[in-house]
Amino acid sequence: MSAKQIELPSAIGVRDLAQKMGISPIDAIKKLMSNGVMASINQTIDFDTAAIVAAEFGFDAVPEKQEVEEKKEVGEVPLWRQKIAGEKEADLLPRPPVVTILGHVDHGKTSLLDAIRKTNVAAGEAGGITQHIGAYQVEREGRLITFLDTPGHAAFTAMRARGAQGADIVVLVVAADDGVMPQTREAIAHAKAARVPIIVALNKIDKPNANPDRVKNQLAELELVPDEWGGNTIVVPVSAKQKMGIDDLLASILLVADSSDIRANPNGKVIGSVIEAELDKAKGVVATLLVQNGTLKNGQVVVAGTAYGRLKAMFDYRGKPVAKAGPSMPVSVLGLSDVPAAGDLFEVVENERTAREIVLKRQEAQKAQVASAKMSLEDLFARFKSGEVKELRLIIKADVQGSLEPIIKEINELGKNSQEIAIKILYAETGNIGENDVMLASASKAILIGFNVQAEVSARRLAEAEGVSIRLYDIIYRLTEDIEKALKGMLQPEFVEKRIGKAHVLAVFPISKVGKVAGCRVVEGEARRNSKVRLFRGGDIVYEGEVASLKHEKEDVREVRAGMECGVGLKNFHDIVVGDILEFYTLEKTG
Ligand code: GDP
């Protein structure tokens, strides 16, 4: 039998490859692992690697025919864009580009952000003191550029996960001495998925061992072909340390901005994203909002995620009070009831009542999500109670290093005291729970524990599909308590059965149209109309289901107490005989 042919491009994402073969990405990742390639779902692999995996699944890979036309980009349309889709073309005006800086750790993201800020911020402003609010604006030749000042993928990913996608342009920092590294690849994948153009800042060119050509080669392999080589990617050599090339970088950003559709309606619906937020002891909730459409005005009522409130004050990144903020302007605001999460979408609503209603709905939806995650976790615990699993494997994600340490310590302590089950922490890191974590949890049958973090939407979706448990906590004690209970096999299921009564079947009456009804005497507790029921015959359970009807002396009743007689109909079951025993019970939520 000849293998099926599959056309593959020179580089393909693991997810796309799996999709092309009609298999689960997990299976693809496992195959890659067994071939010694550790790849995540978002990673891009080359043709040869993809061909090996394809062969394992019975496909014969052939290089894709070069398409002359640019492939239609598939990616996400950010939520805020969807929400302003109704804006009229004629009302849209150019706005400053919003730029985020991504790259591998230590390649110089923070240094570059500092260098840009120092060289261009507040030109002409006396003092030029800037506050850290998570974003700032610089001016070049009379035009503004907004920089998101929270480097690292976590912030970008958090925003993307919520559909916020703050950035219009990604500046990818690659250290010229170190070259393309795992987080560089990850950043490229993120930017591509979000359809955000990339400008490469080739940093640290001042270093004697800088090797720009090597880096350009690596970039070209990842389909970021430098413009000087005839490609579309602008590569700007810079030195954040010596503040060289900064102006070129800004010029390139404006160039890319001009060829992108970076517009908004300053008079339209007010919408944007939360950049960061915290609780300040003196001021209350301080949140930085990036306006993405419309003009935010002080005094308006804002809903951000599950926080809301009337704005009491607004400041720009210099700490100067402002009355309004147009598109692409970051402002720090006071007046929210709660701390929203970075990446939450915000919008202006008419009044506080409307805001409250929206928030209530969102809170309910969140609760439902947490509840469903718990259910599947109980399953897993039950499995090792039955001896199926001997080791509790955990992946822990927390907000900061400072929370991770005590959690790890306490969990290890629990593990030492546990006789039957060993605990193994596969890894513990800071950051939100992402798809990668879910992948690993699924592949290694681990439980994902989040402390003061969120599970990204994509991660949640994947977890649902893969049956991975995600458990989120905000109190360490609760986290360790649950693990302790689990180890002792005591973790309560979400619902517990509560027995409410028992009845003996004394007679059986055929009733036309209804089927059979059992004439019973309640011998314990009570029989209840809205309860579940089990039918025993000689010690065996013959039926489990619901009460269809309950009558006392021909009257429909809600309950019948012990010592009394009643007629009981069972839902979809008529094989009742004299001598059967009925047990009535309810399922009650714990906690
Ligand atoms: P991040 O982790 O990407 O934010 O990187 P940092 O900005 O913290 O920089 C990491 C290290 O590289 C620091 O020690 C910086 O001083 C150094 N560094 C950053 N930019 C340059 C540069 O242009 N030249 C040199 N020689 N060192 C740099």
Task: Please spell the DSSP secondary structure of 515-583, one letter per residue.
Answer: EEEEEEEEEEEEEETTSEEEEEETTEEEEEEEEEEEEETTEE-SEEETT-EEEEEETTB----TT-EEE
Catalogue the E-assigned strands of 370-420. Answer: 391-398
Closest ligand 1 atom to 104 CA:
3
Residue 34 near residue 43, CB atoms below 8 Å = no
pLDDT for position 74: 40
* Residue whose CA lies nearest to ligand 1 atom number 18: 108
Distance 115 CA to ligand 1 centre (A): 11
* Residue whose CA lies nearest to ligand 1 atom number 24: 204
- Output the ligand 1 site: residues, CB below 6 A: 103, 105-111, 151, 203-204, 206-207, 239-241
Residue 247 has pLDDT above 80, yes or no: yes
Which of 456, 438, 454 minimizes the C-alpha distance to 446? 438
| Probe residue for ligand 1, chosen from 100, 101, 105, 111 as the CB with the greatest number of ligand atoms within 8 Å | 111
Distance 125 CA to ligand 1 centre (A): 28
What pLDDT digit, counting tens, does each position of 205-232 carry?
Answer: 999 999 999 999 999 988 899 988 888 8
Distance CA 91, CA 99 (A): 23
* Residue whose CA lies nearest to ligand 1 atom number 17: 108
Closest ligand 1 atom to 203 CA:
23
Distance CA 73, CA 195 (A): 7
User: Dihedrals φ, ψ of 150, to 5°?
Assistant: -115, 85
Which of 176, 186, 266 minimizes the C-alpha distance to 226? 176
Lowest mean per-residue pLDDT among 282-291, 321-330, 357-366, 410-419: 410-419
pLDDT for position 77: 64
Q: How confident is the model at residue 496 (pLDDT cuts 50, 70, 90)?
A: low
Q: How confident is the model at residue 382 (pLDDT cuts 50, 70, 90)?
A: low
The answer for residues whose C-beta is within 8 angstroms of residue 380's C-beta and 6 or more apart is 389, 447, 469
Most trustworthy range by pLDDT among 159-173, 236-250, 464-478: 236-250
pLDDT for position 374: 40
What pLDDT digit, counting tens, does each position of 499-551 carry?
Answer: 899 999 999 988 877 788 999 999 999 999 989 999 998 878 888 889 999 99
pLDDT for position 561: 93
Distance CA 131, CA 184 (A): 29
Distance CA 324, CA 297 (A): 4
pLDDT for position 549: 92
Q: How confident is the model at residue 370 (pLDDT cuts 50, 70, 90)?
A: very low
pLDDT for position 73: 36
Q: Residues for the chain: how many in total?
A: 591
Helix axes 435-444, 25-34, angle to 10 degrees: 70
pLDDT for position 495: 56
* Tokens describing residue 178: 């170190």
- Given the DSSP bridges, would you call strands 345-349 and 271-280 parallel, antiparallel or unpaired? antiparallel
Distance CA 207, CA 205 (A): 5
Distance 88 CA to ligand 1 centre (A): 44
Is the CA virtual torsion 154, 157, 161, 166 positive or negative? positive
pLDDT for position 384: 56
Residue 160 near residue 194, CB atoms below 8 Å = yes
Distance 266 CA to ligand 1 centre (A): 38
Which of 439, 464, 441, 437 minimizes the C-alpha distance to 453? 437
| Probe residue for ligand 1, chosen from 104, 106, 249 as the CB with the greatest number of ligand atoms within 8 Å | 106
* Tokens describing residue 571: 């839902």
Q: What does R_g of the chain's alpha carbons equal in angstroms?
A: 30
* Tokens describing residue 240: 């954040």
pLDDT mean over 285-294: 94
- The model's pTM is 0.56
- Given the DSSP bridges, would you call strands 313-315 and 330-334 parallel, antiparallel or unpaired? antiparallel
Distance 545 CA to ligand 1 centre (A): 66
Distance 172 CA to ligand 1 centre (A): 14
Q: What is the DSSP letter of 227?
A: G
Distance CA 287, CA 274 (A): 7
Distance 238 CA to ligand 1 centre (A): 11
Distance 255 CA to ligand 1 centre (A): 26
pLDDT mean over 160-184: 81
Residue 149 near residue 135, CB atoms below 8 Å = yes
Q: Give the number of other CB atoms < 10 A from CB of residue 362.
A: 16
Strand partners, 199: 171
pLDDT for position 589: 57
Residue 71 has pLDDT above 50, yes or no: no
Closest ligand 1 atom to 105 CA:
2
Dihedral over alpha carbons 305, 308, 312, 317 (to 10 degrees): 0
Higher pLDDT, 528 or 344: 528
Distance CA 414, CA 410 (A): 6
pLDDT for position 371: 44
